[in-house]
Structure 1
């Protein structure tokens, strides 16, 4: 089975809502992802296998030098096979091509090794306010 990766790939909201539910262990939502991404994102990467959306990452940005990785998702049955790393690598390539100078990510502690060791991010001081 071949996995393909598409920058700004076409998807339907139902598929992305189902992937979000699978990836985050929540109920399937009704988010209009297409409208949200078109409004706020530099782009996104979709991972496809046999016509099914199995991975996704959003690249939000400030319209200038800073891009932000959000919602890195891989279907549970395809995890630990390099799909997430390939999604982030494609996002990095496209953010660089868009002349962004920085790619930011925040994550939960259990994902530390993935982002630092696998994807090549480095630790930096940052701040956060829970809203």
Structure 2
């Protein structure tokens, strides 16, 4: 991992910055999303990874208002992948969520990410179900 990478909890979010990173990490059509408003309304915590002044990684956790949170949008820019940025993003948000009283953290992931979430990040693999609504 680059010595310049700095992990910031609940950093001041710029919509275009997170939207660009999300697009670079996940592809598809670029969409400018209102990240800041969404995070402030629905998320218990968020973490950004910065290489200098450039956002190169991001994750957030929405919550149920109680003791459960749900990890979403773990993204690392293509140039920073496989360098420990994703693992550090997750461990940083886990620490922040624990400190805020969250007891259970859930995450859904595609099968190719099983090793990342279970072996690297410490999640226990469980059964779950999913229904596409649109």
| Same fold flag (TM > 0.5) | yes
**Which deviations, in whole Å up to 9, do the C-alpha atoms of 1:91-130 show, x marking residues without a partner?**
1001101111101000011111000110000011222211
- C-alpha separation in 1, matches of 2:44 and 2:119: 25
Aligned partners of 1:95 and 1:37: how far apart in 2? 14
Q: Which residue, out of 111, 114, 129, partners 2:113?
A: 111
Which residue number in structure 1 is paired with residue 38 of structure 2?
36
In structure 2, the gaps of 5 or more residues are none
Please state whether the residue corresponding to 1:29 is helix, strand or coil: coil
**RMSD of aligned C-alpha atoms?**
0.9
Count residues in correspondence.
131
Q: Aligned-pair distance for 1:27?
A: 2.5
Structure 1 runs not aligned, ≥5 long: none
Which residue is equivalent to 1:12?
Answer: 14
Contact 2:6–2:52 (Cα < 8 Å) also in 1: no
Superposed, 1:4-83 pairs within 5 Å as 4-83=6-85
Under a length normalisation based on structure 2, what TM-score does the superposition of the two structures give?
Answer: 0.94
- 2:104 is the alignment partner of 1:94: no
